[in-house]
Structure 1
């Protein structure tokens, strides 16, 4: 932590000790798009020591209504490199590791092995299930977020304490391109960043065992209590491998 002046307004919230915890933390973010933009931005300016961002996609003009890590000049560029360019300008004191590769069963362990917490900022369940298993295997939290239209949801998976993502969504819904307004991604992504900061600094109450559902059209936020599914194959597999 080389520049405490940058963090003057947040130091009263969790002290120098909390700021040092942020500086010592490594966060893995899957996705540099609509959710990844607010997540990475707010973790960067909060002073998280290292962000590892994985995304194999290129910036397209249709991304720009919600993915504010990128600009017109970045169209055609790998998203992770565009993101790193933007984030480095916001806070040169942090370390950014850009991985321009697809998250697969073969690559995910290498990508996440140094992380203290994982963030699901993706738009597909195949990747979410991989992140869920990686979190369980490494026994580190996973902050899940998803958006569609004017609404979104998020929860935090704590291995051994909460339901896993497969408990909540045992079957992947059909993949499709969903409409979304940028502000929706901004709300849920900001909440995900808040959750990561709370976890690292030991502040507040996490959304562990609870699913937050935000309806932007009605201005309502609801919470569902979550319980593990006894027939969850992923949980059972993990329990068997650790027993």
Structure 2
């Protein structure tokens, strides 16, 4: 379902800009008016790193009117394998300065540089007035800060993440147009979620460009009212398999959105506190299993389950068996259970993942 465009069109494009974006203006559905909406758009980009770099490049090339780029870091040499906006000469300079440079080189886009770190205390004020935010941060603490501010402001956020060879992209909006179900970060990941830093597990550089380009596309769709945004859907990208698929994202709780948009929360997959007699399927990665696990567990990586649940079920002999799915904190398990249940497999989630299970064991020790 298309949504109303977030941006009103500018009156005219400059002669030079009309020539520069000629291939955009000829696109069916976008056209001259859509390009004029892009030219009037004001978008916040939080993070000018692995995801923010391709986002900024794509939006500047598209001719977005103004980008407000937030990042308090300086460029490091180790950034350059995946943060494609920066150059060797930029090492030691603010990352936001690279955004200003590429904008001046590519288009008429204005870049506002914000080098203050977003915190729980200032994010709401710093993001106020932006119709749309793109979250390219690289830690769950930062993502929760950005998400909380966007939820309070009622503005949409395009969200993406990359870890190792896999990526995710979706759109969160706590107060979408009437009749559209609100979806927020905590419908996908519960509070307190964490993940290993990219410095520990690594990031496949080309995937950052792929995910960032998809995030930029989602932003332009919201600005122009074009196409069907990823609101209520999560795009899952697997660089090793060369695949992209999607999973529906349902509300895990009643949102704090205004009453006219609040809808009853659908029930999620069933959860249990302990495996009991069920077969345990661990959907974490090999490096996570090396740290701790449940004895006797079967293992299939999350990406493999959501990509080819039927194949995993047949390979592991899961048909006709009661399964409990476990990950680190429960989020991947929820999505994996949805994929397994679509194959008519009786599967439930181990509540809180390995962390929750360990904590309950300690409580009852």
Q: TM-score, normalised by structure 1?
A: 0.92
Does the alignment pair 1:96 with 2:111? Answer: yes
The 5 A counterparts of 1:7-156 are 7-13=21-27, 14-91=30-107, 93-156=108-171
Per mean C-alpha deviation after superposition, the further-off stretch among 79-88 and 141-150 is 79-88
Q: Equivalent residue of 1:137, what SS?
A: helix
The whole-number CA distance in structure 2 between the counterparts of 1:55 and 1:155 is: 21
- Highest CA radius of gyration, 1 or 2? 2
SS in structure 1 at match of 2:230: coil
Measure, in 1, the Cα distance between the counterparts of 2:53 and 2:83: 6
SS at match of 2:67: strand
Higher relative contact order (CA 8 A, sep 6+): 1
Distance 1:146 1:19 in 2: 28
Unaligned runs of 5+ in 2: 1-12, 176-180, 263-365
* Structure 1, unpaired ranges of 5+: none
Corresponding position of 2:192: 172
Kept after mapping to 1: 8 A contact 2:124/2:152? no
Deviations 1:188-234 (A, max 9, x none): 0000000011111111111110011111101121211111112x6xx
Measure how far apart 1:172 and its partner are.
Answer: 3.2
Post-superposition offset of 1:239: 5.2
- TM-superposed deviation, 1:33: 0.4
Q: Work out the CA distance in 2 between the residues paired with 1:143 and 1:32.
A: 14
- The Cα shift of 1:175 comes to 4.8
8 A contact 1:52–1:98 mirrored in 2: yes
Q: Deviations over 1:78-110 (max 9, x none)?
A: 11112211222111x111001011111222123
In the alignment of these two chains, the number of paired residues is: 237
The CA distance in 2 between the partners of 1:35 and 1:172, in whole Å, is 22
CA distances 1:162-209 after superposition (whole Å, capped 9, x unpaired): 320011111333353221021010000000000011111111111110
Instruction: Say what the alpha-carbon RMSD is for the aligned residues.
Output: 1.8
Look up the match of 2:236: 213
Q: Is the 8 A contact 2:162 2:207 kept in 1?
A: yes
Q: In the aligned structure 2, how far is the partner of 1:96 from the partner of 1:121?
A: 17
CA deviations over 1:10-44 (Å, ceiling 9, x no partner): 10221111111111111000000010011011000
Is residue 181 of structure 2 the alignment partner of residue 181 of structure 1? no
8 A contact 1:26–1:49 mirrored in 2: yes
